[in-house]
Structure formats: C-alpha cells, structure tokens
Amino acid sequence: MHRFSVSSNTLISQDNPLLLWLPERQKFLEELIRLEGRGVQGIDELCSSCKNASSRYRCEDCFGVDMHCIDCVVQKHAHSPLHRIEEWTGEYFEHTSLKKLGLRIQLGHNVGDRCMNATTAFGDEFVVIDSHGIHEVGLDYCGCETAEARTTQLLRMAWFPSTTIDPKTAATFRLLEEYHLLSFESKVSPYEFYHALARRTDNTGLKPLKDRYEAFMRMIREWRHLKMVKRSGRGHEPGGVEDTKEGELAVTCPACPHPGKNLPDGWQSVSSSRRWIYGLFVAIDANFRLKRKAVSKDSVDPGLSRGWAYFVEELAYKTHLLERIDELQEKSTCSSHSAVDMADTKSSRGLAATGVGTIDCARHNMKLPAGVGDLQKGEKYVNMDYLFFSALKHSSVTVLNVSYDIACQWHKKLWHRMTWLAPSNQLDYTAKLITFFVPKFHLPAHVVPCHTKFSFNFIRGVGRTDGEAPERGWANINPVASSTKEMGPGNRRDTLDDHFGDWNWKKVVGLGATVLRKIQEAIPERNSHLENLRLLEESIESSRITASLAGGSTDEPVSILTSWRKEAEAWESDPTQPNPFEKRVETMTQATVRLQLAQDDAQKLANESSAPLHEEVTPSVLISAGLDVEEQQATIQNRRNALTRKIDAWAKIQALYIPGVVALRVGSNGTSGTEEEIEKAENQKLWLPSQLPRGVVCDQELRSIEWRLRYAQAGDALNELRQSLRLSSYLNRFKDRFLRGQGANTRARNTLKTVDAKSTACKARYRAAHAALHSLSPILNMVGWQNTFRALTDDDVKPMVDLLEAGTEGRRQLTWIWTMRGAADNSDEGLQDALRIEWCKARARAARWSEEVELLFEEKRRILQFFNWQAEQWVDRAQKVFPGDAIMKEGLIAYALRQAALRRSLAAHFTHLWRDTQRLLDIANEGMDTDDSQGST
C-alpha cells in the first residue's frame, strides 16, 4: 500500500515506519521543547511529594518528571545517590548535585543510618564514575571498632576503588560491566568511553571536572583480570589466585578432544583406522596489525596474568628468544613467502612488537591457552616454535593435525629446533601421529608438489577442515589495534587476553547453532558426492578397462578401479608411495594441440571432397549419408555449391525409399526466412525419418537404422566434446600460468577460439542426435536410453577441472557427461590419466564429506560431555568445606551452583537444537542404502 506525497513528489510506503514518522516530526519536536520547562508543575509550584514546600528540583534519571522540594529530593535519593538533579532557576533548569543539596553517603551501615564515628573521604572530594556520568559525592566511611577496611566498605556497596590506600575515586560495578561488554562488541577504547562520560556530565567545558582518566584505566584493567580469575574458579581453590597455573584462565574449546573430560573410556586403544576421530586440529598464524610501540617496559607495566590465559609467560619466552637471537632464518625453497624470507629483514623501527603469533583451534576458531606471544621482528621460527610447543605441551591426544601457511618449510627441522626448548616444553612426537597442512586458501600460492602433500582435500581423517580459522578471527580483534598499540606491555597483554577470552566464549555459546548448520550442510553434501563417485565408477567399470591395458604392472587383467584404489590407499598410508593425484602421462603441449586441430581439419576436408553418392545404395548408407550431410550443413557455409549437389543427389535416392518426402520438399523446404536464406544449402531440411510428420509413410527399417546411427552419433559427439573440453582446460591453464605479453596471449586466444568452435559444433551435433532419438523412441518403443544420453545444457559442458568455476575443490562435482556410462571408453592415455586423477579427487571429496559428518556427530557428543564435566567441577567446588564467615561461604556456593546450572542449561539448549540431527542422518543413510541396493540389482 502506498500514498503519494505532494510536497516531496515521492512515493511513500505506508509500511515504512521512518517515512510514517515524518508527518509527526513537528509534534515530537514540540514535546522535546516542552520538557525544557516544568510542565504541569508550573501551575501550583508545590512539591509533588510533601505538597507543602515549593518545588524547585527534578531528577533526570528517576521515572517521570515530577518536581520536588530540596528535602524531599534528598530523602528520595538516599538509595539512588548517583542520579542527576536539575534545579529550576526561575527561568530554566540547570544542573546541580546531590552533594550540594546536602546528601551524604554513609558506608558500613544500612541506608539512612549514620555512623557515630564517621570519617569523611580524603579531602571530601570523592568522585564516582557511573553510567550516568562522573559524580562528585559526599562520602563518609564507617569508623566503628568493627569497621572493615575502606576499600572493603566500597566494594560491598558495588563500588570499585581506584587505589588500595585512601581512594579518592571509585567506579560502579554497573559501569565497569557496561564498558567491559561495550569494549568487546564495539572495541571502544577507555579514552573514548571516559570522555563520552565526561561530556555527558558537562558538554560545555565551562565546569571543569576532576580528571580521573588514569584511575579509570587502572580500574578497568583490574576489573578485566578479576572477572577472568573468578570465572575460572580461582576463588574456590585453596591456593587462591597465586596458585593459578599456566593457561588456567583461558576459555577452552568444548568441541576439541580433552582426555579425561570429553573422550570416552578406552579412546587410546581405538584401531589405527579410527584414530583420526579423536584428532586435535591446530592452526598457526601471525597478525602484524597488533603492533606495540616501544613505550614503557615490563618492570614498569607488568602483566597481571603472567601466562595464566592466552599469552605465554613473558620472562621465559623472552629468555628463550635472547638465547637464539643469532639464529638465521632459512630461506624458503617453496614459493616466495614473506613470512619466511622477510623474517630477518622486516622493519621494527620504533616498535617493541611487530605483531602477535597465535595457536588456534583449527575447526572451531578459538585461541588455545598459552599459545599467544609477541613477535619482535617478523614471523620467525624461533617465536612460532615456542608458541606451538607451549600450547600443546599439556595435551595428551595421539593424533595431531597442524595447519600453517608455511608448513612446508617450517616443519622440516622442527624436531631439531624443539631441542632448544626446555624439556617441559618439548613434545613426545614419536608417540603421536602428526600431519602438517597448508590452509586451503593459501595453498595455491605454493609450488605444485605442495598442492597434494599438504592439502586438506586429499589427506584422510580431516573432514572438511580448511585451516583458515585464524584469518576469520582477526576481523574481530583488529579494531583494538589502534588503542593497544599505545599501551605498555603488561596492559596490552591483559587487554588482548580479555578480548581473546570473550571471543572464545562467544564461540562456545554459539556452538549449538554452528554445529547444527554444519550438519545440515554436510549430510546432503556427503550423499551428493557419494552419488557422484558412484556414477563415475559405474562409467569407468562399464568401459571394461583393465589395469594391464591402462598401463598397469599387473600380470593378470584386473579392474582398473581396483588398481587405482590400491594405489590411493597405499599413498594415504605411506606418503612416500607414488602420489595418485599427480600426472603420469606426458602433458600435452601447444604443438600437439595445434597438430590435433590440423588433423581434424584435414579429415573434414577429405570427407567433403568425396565422390557423389551412387544411385544404388542400401538403406543404412542412405541414412548415414543423410547424417553426414546434416553435419556439413551445420559446419560448412563457404562450400555451398558442393553441398547443394550432394543434397540433390541424396534427395533423389531418398525419394525411392520415402516417396512422401517429394511432396514435403515441394511444399516447403522446412525453413523460414527470406528467399535467399531458404535457398542456402545449409538451411534445407533433409526430412530424415526422425523429422517426418505424422501421416508420412516411412519404412520401419529406416527408422531403426537412423535410431542406431543417431545413438552412435550422440556417443561420438560426447567423446569429441570431452576431448575438446580437455584441450580447452589445458590451454587456459597454460595461458594463465606461463604466457605473458600481448602477442603470446593473442595467439593463445585464437587457438582457444578454434577449440571452442569445435566444442560448439559437438554440442550442436549431440543436440541434433538427442532430438532425433527423442522423436524416434515412441515409434520404435525404445526406453531407458535417456539414462545414458540426457538433454545437454550449457551448464553440463564443463571440463573436469574448470578454472573459471567458482566452486572449491572440496565442493566441485563432475557433470553427467563425465560420469555417464562409456565416458572412459577411449584409448587416449591422456584421458585415462585424467580420469584416474579425477576419480582420486572424487573419492577424496566423498571421503572428506563422510568424515565431516562423523566428526560433527563426535563433536556433538564431546560438547555435551564437556559441559557435563564442567557442571560437575562446579558442583564439586560448591561442596567443598569453606572456612571463614558464613556470608562468604554462601557467595562461593551460590556462584559455583550458578555456573553449574549455566553449563547444564547450555547442554539442554544444544540438545534441543540438535534434536532432529540423528533422524536427518538416519533418513540420509536409508536413502543411500536404497540407492546401493537398486544399483546392485
């Protein structure tokens, strides 16, 4: 529904709230201005509470705009001492404070009670920072004999003191919590937040406030740290905060394998073929945006966590780096990687840290405990090694999958470099199955041998992991780079630790929806790729190629798939075996492509110059000749005269077999257009049996002959089409990789045009054959042929590996022209080798998606078990015997039980989200079983 606005000449939607508001704009403005006055209170000027005294004050933060007298406004705000008060001067409102009106805040006693021995805060200039602004208040401490320390009195009022001795400033817990969450979501700096509060207090600068920015910075940092130690349960441990171990403050990933927490009993004794299900995936990366200027030092600005969260312990880390400061970084033998080649040359002028290195969970995108550290000069191995072993030294998993964008170089001497570390940081790699990978997005930049050796797509046991998890997390943390760049070393580490913890927690609570989405995607993808693999294998098996015929070394002919499968399994078990994903037939060259095209042209010319048809021909010769003429009609226009003579000669013979075509040809030659176009030989309709209208008598034998010839023609056209697509794929790859310059690229494009023209002719020939088969099949009662020869669309015409296709290797699927029966019936060794590689890739794709489904269901189980383990841990903490006062004990028990309830609630919520996933898997498996049974019969 719309209406037309005459004033603006625009069409206004009745459903757009913003546009509907425009006519009400003046009314809203008037109400804002009305609130600048006293409103209805201006009539009697009496206090709305006591109804006696004159009303001069109102509160900006209380509900409503009632006016009160001075006594009533002070009395009403005994429980709200940080509200903002306005005073009516007789002409307008101006800000005042409850302190000026006489309100005193008494700590250590119930609200409204006064201490007989009250002590005024230092200088009576106490400032409280709150969400409403920065307030100067009248504050009195309790001075009784049983009084607590002043900081304790403040904390029990939910006010956080800025210092431990005679504090002059405090921040409300409410404000600290507000800024804490705001810093995570908007990455606002303490400077921006504090000065926004200052402007809210006084936006004119006419009433200078006492500067408490440094105090605010200090309180925020201490608040961050306290929240971390509280949430990790350190307040419930006998040793307290000081007994915290390395990495204990970190939020751990519940979906990763944690022995003793979320792995089943006996997981170590699982068969070697199933070890991968309990593998740990880690990703290594560096971020060079998170720099730090060379300001302050650790002795002046020490970190509060000391390696308890994500950053490693700084002293041990820097000691190790100093011991290896003279180690030269070996140059890359792969492609030019700046992370390797520039590690010793990267500029670090004016910087104490050029970035950070991190160790992440590669499947769930969480920072690992004790796996983050500063980089001093590029991404050096000595830095990344320390972080890697520090993050993994406490894990006892036996399968480790390590992703790093320079893994091909970094892993070579890793175990030798490990000996430089302290024994406590070393890894018993001989007892583990460790595989190194390069993230999928980074892999194409590597040399060709790396593309399979370090690929997530081809190595078993990794599902659909891509290794790019750290890259996705940088977008969240990069906005804090500008503020942390100016911080001291300890403050920066504490701030980044806190942000990494929040990122991990958001990932944890989002795992329910994340795993559900992945399962809903993975199950159909698995079935689709398994079906694609089945069709390809049927096509290969139907060709009856044996390993011996295909160049295998077997003495007895065996199925080529059996031979290929043995090779693939051998390489998967031992990477030193021949790589099945590598080509074994000499790659075609441009010269061979041009020679093949020239031979095709020569063959066509030879066919065109053949002698005219003889008068006495058999029916099969008649139909065969008709198909030849039809092909020449589609491809030859500059030899029209010769073609016309052939058509005339063929038409005379055709009239003997099908007399009815004479009338058809006289009445209409089957074309539409101008007379000149109709006379063109390539446009004349031949009236083959498949083109005859109903009522025209035609021998059934002729139709049967055309059927068989068309069936063969369709197969030949597809064979030639597949060959042309292989040529086109090679030429595109060669041009993109090797050719530079206008001349070379022009020649390559001309060759591509020739190949593309051949593909176009093949498509036209196949579509003509398919149309004829479709026309003849009802008459001849032919069924089932559509399963072999389908309708050909432009989307079906793709090479095995389409460089222009948007899909990735893990999602790519062959079109039906490559998986149909007989697609492998070709003696071309190049095609056989390409089919072998494509079968290996299709097998790998199906395996990776199948593994992904298994991994996701295993991660489901791990997550729920981990939450239950955490809940039990918190219940155990609640059941401990706590010495001391009963109030403290109640707080410890309440917090522990609340945390246990939270974990159980998360487990229940995730279980509800995943309630249909097992049914979805069962239905998908039943469908696969049905397809398999149908295929076997």
Residue 27 reports pLDDT greater than 90: yes
What CA–CA distance (Å, rounded) separates 845 from 536? 13
pLDDT at residue number 611: 45
**What is the separation of C-alpha 715 from the centre of its chain, rounded to a whole number of angstroms?**
42
pLDDT at residue number 6: 45
Residue 154 reports pLDDT greater than 80: yes
Residue 897 reports pLDDT greater than 80: yes
- Cβ–Cβ under 8 Å, residues 345 and 378: yes
pLDDT at residue number 411: 93
- Binning pLDDT at 50, 70 and 90, where does residue 936 land? very low
Closest CA to 247 of 136, 359, 83, 408: 359
Q: How much is the average pLDDT of 294-312?
A: 93
Give the DSSP letter of residue 671.
-
Q: What is the pLDDT of residues 865-874, one digit of tens each?
A: 999 999 999 9
What CA–CA distance (Å, rounded) separates 832 from 560? 10
Residue 884 reports pLDDT greater than 60: yes
Residue 935 reports pLDDT greater than 50: no
**Number of alpha carbons in the 13 Å side-chain half-sphere of residue 536:** 26
pLDDT at residue number 712: 80
SS3 683: helix
Q: Which amino acid is located at 14 in the chain?
A: Q
pLDDT at residue number 12: 53
Residue 769 reports pLDDT greater than 60: yes
What CA–CA distance (Å, rounded) separates 532 from 527? 9
Residue 278 reports pLDDT greater than 90: yes
Q: Which amino acid is located at 79 in the chain?
A: H
Instruction: Collect all residues with Cβ–Cβ distance below 8 Å to 57 and sequence separation of at least 6.
Output: 67, 68, 69, 70, 73, 85, 86, 87, 88, 96, 101
DSSP string over 550-593: TT---SS--BHHHHHHHHHHHHHH-TTSPPTTS--SPPP-HHHH
DSSP string over 702-721: HHHHHHHHHHHHHHHHHHHH
Instruction: Collect all residues with Cβ–Cβ distance below 8 Å to 433 and sequence separation of at least 6.
Output: 275, 279, 398, 399, 400
Kindly give the residue spans of alpha helices, DSSP state H, lying in 393-435.
Answer: 407-410, 414-418
- Kindly report the backbone phi and psi dihedral angles of residue 483, in degrees, each rounded to the nearest multiple of 5, phi listed first: -85, -40
Q: Among 61-75, 192-206, 472-486, 677-691, whose mean pLDDT is lowest?
A: 677-691
Instruction: Collect all residues with Cβ–Cβ distance below 8 Å to 928 and sequence separation of at least 6.
Output: 527, 530
Q: How much is the average pLDDT of 229-256?
A: 94
Q: Among 133-142, 691-700, 755-764, 804-813, whose mean pLDDT is lowest?
A: 804-813
- Cβ–Cβ under 8 Å, residues 387 and 357: yes
> Between 728 and 526, where is the model more confident?
526
What CA–CA distance (Å, rounded) separates 767 from 764? 5
Give the DSSP letter of residue 610.
S
Q: Which amino acid is located at 331 in the chain?
A: K
What CA–CA distance (Å, rounded) separates 627 from 897? 84
Residue 862 reports pLDDT greater than 50: yes
> Which position has the token pair 């041990």?
316
Residue 304 reports pLDDT greater than 90: yes
- Specify the DSSP element, H or E, that contains 94: strand 93-96
Instruction: Collect all residues with Cβ–Cβ distance below 8 Å to 910 and sequence separation of at least 6.
Output: 511, 512, 515, 860, 863, 864, 867
Q: How much is the average pLDDT of 407-413?
A: 92
Residue 647 reports pLDDT greater than 50: yes
Q: What is the mean pLDDT of the chain?
A: 84
- CA dist 27 to 13, 14, 20, 40, 74, Å? 21, 19, 13, 18, 34
pLDDT at residue number 334: 81
Q: Which residues pair with 401 in a beta bridge?
A: 281, 435
What CA–CA distance (Å, rounded) separates 59 from 68? 9
- CA dist 581 to 446, 452, 833, Å? 16, 7, 10
What CA–CA distance (Å, rounded) separates 850 from 841? 14
- CA dist 715 to 599, 603, 712, 835, Å? 21, 19, 5, 18
Tell me how many degrees the CA angle 926-927-931 measures, rounded to the nearest 5: 115
Q: Which residues pair with 293 in a beta bridge?
A: 351
- Specify the DSSP element, H or E, that contains 358: strand 355-361
- Binning pLDDT at 50, 70 and 90, where does residue 4 land? very low
pTM for the full predicted model:
0.81
> Between 759 and 237, where is the model more confident?
237
Q: How much is the average pLDDT of 711-726?
A: 78
pLDDT at residue number 705: 82
pLDDT at residue number 590: 46
pLDDT at residue number 414: 94
Kindly give the residue spans of alpha helices, DSSP state H, lying in 658-699.
Answer: 660-667, 675-679
Q: How much is the average pLDDT of 64-80?
A: 93
Residue 338 reports pLDDT greater than 70: no
* 771, two tokens: 């149309």
- CA dist 560 to 485, 557, 818, 822, 835, Å? 61, 9, 17, 14, 11
- Binning pLDDT at 50, 70 and 90, where does residue 763 land? confident
Q: What is the pLDDT of residues 776-810, one digit of tens each?
A: 888 888 877 777 788 888 887 777 664 434 457 77
- CA dist 141 to 82, 116, 151, 169, 219, Å? 17, 11, 10, 14, 20
pLDDT at residue number 699: 79
Q: Among 452-456, 563-567, 623-627, whose mean pLDDT is lowest?
A: 623-627
Tell me how many degrees the CA angle 578-579-585 measures, rounded to the nearest 5: 90
Using CB atoms within 10 A of its CB, is residue 454 exposed (0-12), middle (13-18) or buried (19+)?
Answer: buried
Residue 464 reports pLDDT greater than 70: yes
- Cβ–Cβ under 8 Å, residues 867 and 254: yes
- Specify the DSSP element, H or E, that contains 774: helix 742-780
Q: How much is the average pLDDT of 37-65?
A: 85
Work out the percent of the chain whose per-residue pLDDT is above 70. 81
pLDDT at residue number 573: 86
What CA–CA distance (Å, rounded) separates 673 from 692? 21
- Cβ–Cβ under 8 Å, residues 818 and 432: no
pLDDT at residue number 805: 44
Tell me how many degrees the CA angle 618-624-625 measures, rounded to the nearest 5: 90
Closest CA to 171 of 223, 106, 100: 223
Sheet holding 367-375, edge to edge: 367-375, 355-361, 280-287, 399-404, 433-437
pLDDT at residue number 1: 45
Rg over CA atoms, the chain: 40
Residue 336 reports pLDDT greater than 70: no
Residue 529 reports pLDDT greater than 60: yes
Q: How much is the average pLDDT of 535-545?
A: 73
**What is the separation of C-alpha 602 from the centre of its chain, rounded to a whole number of angstroms?**
52
What CA–CA distance (Å, rounded) separates 567 from 585? 16
Closest CA to 752 of 597, 636, 604: 597
**What is the separation of C-alpha 532 from the centre of its chain, rounded to a whole number of angstroms?**
25
Q: What is the pLDDT of residues 804-858, one digit of tens each?
A: 344 577 777 777 777 676 665 555 676 677 788 888 888 999 999 999 999 999 9
Instruction: Collect all residues with Cβ–Cβ distance below 8 Å to 283 and sequence separation of at least 6.
Output: 359, 360, 361, 362, 402, 403, 404, 439, 467, 468, 469, 470
What CA–CA distance (Å, rounded) separates 199 from 134? 9
Give the DSSP letter of residue 67.
-
Closest CA to 714 of 822, 809, 593: 822
Q: How much is the average pLDDT of 546-566?
A: 64
pLDDT at residue number 612: 46
Q: How much is the average pLDDT of 565-573?
A: 90
> Between 198 and 800, where is the model more confident?
198
**Number of alpha carbons in the 13 Å side-chain half-sphere of residue 380:** 23
> Which position has the token pair 């990932």?
507
Q: How much is the average pLDDT of 352-363?
A: 95
Residue 635 reports pLDDT greater than 70: no
